[in-house]
A and B are shown apart, each in its own frame.
Chain A
Amino acid sequence: MNYADLLKKQFNGQVSVRERRAGIAQLVAPLYHEDGDMVDIFLEAVAGKESGVRISDHGMTLMRLSYSFEIDTPNKERIFQRILAENGVNEDQGNLFVDTDYSGLYPAILQFAQTVAKVGNMQLYKREVIQSMFFELLTEFIEKNLGKYNPRQTVFPVPSRDDLEVDFEFAVKPRPIYLFGVKDNAQARLAAISCLEFQRNRLPFKSFIVHEEFENLSSKDRKRITSAADKQFVSLDDFRENAAQVLEREGAA
């Protein structure tokens, strides 16, 4: 029995295969993406291995993902690789694959389809979907790790200006630290304006900026915020790693 016949039997006749290229068949199975397209699963014999079968997607999963989401940061790459590793799936230049043999074909296809779905769902990590997570994660870290610096959330240092908001104030002597979380160009501009206004009002303070990703800002916004702020953390990871030490130094100053 070849693997196509075996698969039909294992899937109770609900699947078929269609030859797409010499030696490469595509599985036609009732496994669909959210938009109604069938999950792309290809099957081909593994050279030199009797009853060996490679289950792969020939790059279709990452192609689909790229319609609206790119794996273009180390963090996204880490999540992607973790999904693959946890599901025993490999990648070769975008081709997701798993090698199995006839006996393991049925569970391997289901596992592979599940992995494809998980990778496809990485679009849920889109900036606009998870952007609130940046502040949640920032807040969580500050509450958990920097409590001894008496953080106060949402502070308005100039009483008459409720448009100039500081995300966190740390009661560090001799001058309080005003911390701004910045996740995009607009927030970078607002933080820069706030710092300049506070300076104009002769408030004693030092400003800290925690960027979601400094490199994602436009070059003009990077210049503005760099000129206005006293200390910047280029990412949340940078802040997590160095905040305690920097605050300690500020307190000791």
Chain B
Amino acid sequence: MRTYTQEEIEQLITCPKQIAEPPKKEWRIERGSKRKDMTLVATADKKEFTVFIRVNVDFEENFSVGLEYNPKEEKGTFCLLRCNGPHGEFIGGDSAPSVHFRYHIHKAKAENIEAGMRPERGAEPTDKYASYRDALRVFLETIGVTNMDEYFPDLRQMALALDERKEPQE
């Protein structure tokens, strides 16, 4: 795997993207988790990305929404960003393990790639979201999905509603 600068990583995360293959309307429930996937393409240079959405069946607060980059110049994919629910403790980017179960975000770091570690190793707690739906909206906005309203029409309106913690229905 080639090395990346942090600027390159930030650019990959935030560059404008279009949903090329939308997720299916219905969840795929498989082996204890609800699953959806979609494919994104960068508007400017057609770089390819995939998004996975996972929600644990037994613990709905245990979810993960992630962005994988599929570089054309080399084989394989790696995770650029993952928005997680409060599933447990985690090691922070530059600190001792968080002793609290908190919503947290994993973001790829250049030094992790350089060191041969998982790019998204380490996470930071966040208060940008407090539910799966909120996390999905924050995630899609962060990664620059320009046509999110086309496929997730209720997501932004739902942000204004008070019932964000109920069962996801999109």
Mark A residues whose CB is within 8 Å of B.
Answer: 18, 20-21, 26, 28, 30, 32, 34-38, 40, 58-60, 62-64, 66-68, 71, 93-95, 126, 128-129, 131
27 contacts between A and B (CB under 8 A): A28-B88, A32-B91, A34-B118, A35-B121, A37-B91, A38-B88, A38-B89, A38-B97, A40-B62, A58-B56, A58-B58, A58-B59, A59-B32, A59-B56, A60-B32, A60-B62, A62-B32, A64-B64, A66-B35, A67-B79, A67-B82, A68-B52, A93-B31, A93-B32, A94-B57, A126-B76, A131-B75
Return chain B residues, CB-CB under 8 Å to A28. 88-89, 99
Return chain A residues, CB-CB under 8 Å to B64. 63-64, 67
Return chain A residues, CB-CB under 8 Å to B82. 35, 67
Within 8 A of A (CB), among B71-95: 75-77, 79, 82, 84, 87-92
A30 to B101, CA, bound (A): 14
Within 8 A of A (CB), among B23-54: 30-33, 35, 52, 54
Return chain B residues, CB-CB under 8 Å to A59. 31-33, 56-58
Return chain B residues, CB-CB under 8 Å to A95. 32, 58
Asked, given contacts A35-B118, A35-B121, whether A58 binds B32 with beta carbons under 8 Å apart, the answer is yes
- The answer to whether B30 and A30 have CB atoms under 8 Å apart is no
Query: Chain B's nearest CB lies how many Å from the CB of A139?
Result: 20
- The answer to whether A40 and B88 have CB atoms under 8 Å apart is yes
Number of interchain pairs (Cβ within 8 Å): 102
- The answer to whether B56 and A63 have CB atoms under 8 Å apart is yes
Return chain A residues, CB-CB under 8 Å to B106. 35-37
Query: Chain B's nearest CB lies how many Å from the CB of A240?
Result: 26
Return chain B residues, CB-CB under 8 Å to A34. 117-118, 121
Query: Chain A's nearest CB lies how many Å from the CB of B101?
Result: 7
- The answer to whether A62 and B89 have CB atoms under 8 Å apart is no
Return chain A residues, CB-CB under 8 Å to B30. 66, 94
- The answer to whether B87 and A40 have CB atoms under 8 Å apart is yes
Asked, given contacts A37-B123, A128-B75, A128-B76, whether A63 binds B32 with beta carbons under 8 Å apart, the answer is yes
Asked, given contacts A35-B106, A36-B121, A67-B54, whether A60 binds B87 with beta carbons under 8 Å apart, the answer is yes
Instruction: Indicate the member of A18, A32, A36, A131 with the most B CB atoms within 10 Å.
Output: A36
Query: Chain A's nearest CB lies how many Å from the CB of B117?
Result: 7
The residue in chain B whose Cβ has the minimal distance to the Cβ of A32 is: B91
A68 to B121, CA, bound (A): 15
A126 to B70, CA, bound (A): 13
Instruction: Indicate the member of B33, B97, B106 with the most A CB atoms within 10 Å.
Output: B33
A26 to B61, CA, bound (A): 14
The residue in chain A whose Cβ has the minimal distance to the Cβ of B76 is: A128
Return chain B residues, CB-CB under 8 Å to A38. 88-90, 97
A182 to B162, CA, bound (A): 54
Return chain B residues, CB-CB under 8 Å to A21. 59
